């Protein structure tokens, strides 16, 4: 039950971080939002190192840096896919891949959840697709390039989940220090090579900082959950994060959920209940 609570809380926090990130992206360039938020997350995790003590071994930092590279590249590919594609295709493709890859790897690693939990996994995968849909866009306008980028982004996010699973429980949150350092370097290098501005837009800084802090808090929750539970279950529950983003948009910004998205939120709740009951 503790693992389910940690993973579900992680999904809620990830979704909240995305909500603030979406607000910030309306006022700033994407790379500025990503880099400043990543730096904020890095500063947030530093005080946690003595509070959640661990052994900062070379392998621990290496796994974390590999995860950070995977996640950093995934963020870049995801935004590129959104820039050139249709949200109703890009979002569910990315989210589904980021959930499905850890499931396949977990099964390969020998993880065998209870049948009831597997039903919850199947329900969660369906929920990820539904909550990410935007019925107001025409999927037929999607082109091959954005679809390929969204697939790569999903692989990158899934890789982030998988690589952090390799870290021993005794590592504490040191892997996240390596992960965030690597992702900051990747995004900064991309900005420098492309000559993009890294200055946040007027009034966007609070939302950007909130994005970074919440994202790192979610990373901590994910690491604690995956160190104690199966990769299959934790990664799938975490991938339900779009549901909390939708609910925040509904109640804070007054945006309406379409019928498909509302059904996805319902399926997400059902999936959490099934996995918790297993």
For residue 253, give Cα distances in angstroms to 19, 20, 52, 171, 249: 10, 12, 36, 40, 5
8 Å CB contact between 236 and 124: yes
Overall average pLDDT of the 69-98 stretch: 75
Question: pLDDT > 70: what percent of the chain?
Answer: 91
Q: For residues 180 and 178, what is the distance between their CA atoms, to the nearest angstrom?
A: 6
The band of 68, judged by pLDDT with boundaries at 50, 70 and 90, is very high
CB 218 within 8 A of CB 245: no
Average pLDDT, the chain: 84
Taking the alpha carbons of 246, 251, 256, 261 in that order, is the dihedral positive or negative?
positive
Task: For residue 102, give both structure tokens.
Answer: 């850890």
Q: What is the mean pLDDT of residues 89-106?
A: 81
Instruction: Tell which phi-psi region holds residue 258, choosing left (phi > 0), alpha (psi between -120 and 50) or beta.
Output: beta
CA 237 – CA 252 distance, rounded (Å):
24
Average pLDDT on 9-21 reads: 89
Using an 8 Å Cβ cutoff, are 170 and 55 in contact? yes
**Mean pLDDT (whole number) for 149-168:** 91
Q: Determine if residue 108 is left, alpha or beta; phi over 0 gives left, psi from -120 to 50 gives alpha, anything else beta.
A: alpha
Q: What is the dihedral of CA 21, 26, 30, 33, to 10 degrees?
A: -50
pLDDT tops 80 at residue 163? yes
Per the CB < 8 A criterion, the answer to whether 249 and 255 are in contact is yes
Q: Is the pLDDT of residue 139 over 60?
A: no
Q: pLDDT at position 140, please?
A: 46
Of 143 and 12, the structure prediction assigns the larger pLDDT to: 12
Which residues touch 194 (CB under 8 Å, ≥6 apart)?
31
Distance of CA 129 to the CA centre of its chain: 15
Say if residues 235 and 4 touch (Cβ distance below 8 Å). Answer: no
CB 166 within 8 A of CB 59: no
pLDDT at 175: 94
Helix, strand, or coil (residue 76): helix
What's the helix, strand, coil split of the chain in %, to 5?
80, 0, 20
- 247/226 Cα distance (integer angstroms): 25
How much is the average pLDDT of 264-268?
84
* For residues 206-224, average pLDDT: 93
Q: Is 143 exposed, middle or buried (0-12, 13-18, 19+ CB in 10 A)?
A: exposed
> How many angstroms from the chain centroid is the CA of residue 251?
22
Residue 193 neighbours by CB under 8 Å, 6+ apart: none
């Amino acid at each position: 039950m503790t693992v389910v609570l940690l993973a579900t809380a992680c999904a809620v926090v990830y979704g909240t971080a995305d909500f603030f990130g979406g607000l910030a992206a309306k006022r700033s360039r994407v790379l500025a939002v990503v880099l400043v938020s990543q730096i904020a997350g890095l500063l947030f995790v530093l005080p946690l190192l003595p509070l959640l003590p661990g052994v900062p071994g070379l392998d621990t930092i290496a796994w974390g840096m590999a995860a950070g590279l995977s996640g950093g590249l995934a963020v870049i590919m995801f935004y590129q896919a959104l820039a050139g594609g249709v949200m109703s295709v890009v979002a569910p493709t990315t989210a589904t891949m980021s959930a499905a890859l850890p499931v396949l790897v977990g099964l390969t690693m020998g993880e065998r959840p209870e049948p009831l939990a597997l039903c919850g996994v199947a329900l969660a995968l369906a929920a990820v697709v539904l909550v990410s849909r935007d019925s107001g866009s025409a999927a037929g306008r999607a082109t091959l390039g954005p679809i390929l980028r969204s697939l790569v982004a999903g692989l990158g996010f899934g890789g982030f989940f998988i690589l952090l699973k390799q870290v021993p429980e005794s590592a504490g949150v040191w892997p996240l220090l390596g992960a965030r350092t690597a992702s900051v370097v990747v995004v900064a290098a991309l900005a420098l090579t492309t000559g993009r501005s890294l200055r946040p837009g007027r009034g966007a800084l609070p939302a950007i900082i909130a994005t970074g802090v919440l994202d790192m808090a979610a990373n901590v929750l994910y690491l604690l959950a995956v160190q104690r539970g199966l990769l299959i279950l934790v990664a799938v529950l975490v991938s339900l994060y779009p549901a909390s983003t939708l609910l925040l948009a509904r109640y804070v910004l007054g945006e309406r959920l379409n019928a498909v998205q509302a059904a996805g939120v319902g399926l997400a709740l059902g999936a959490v209940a099934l996995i918790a009951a297993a």
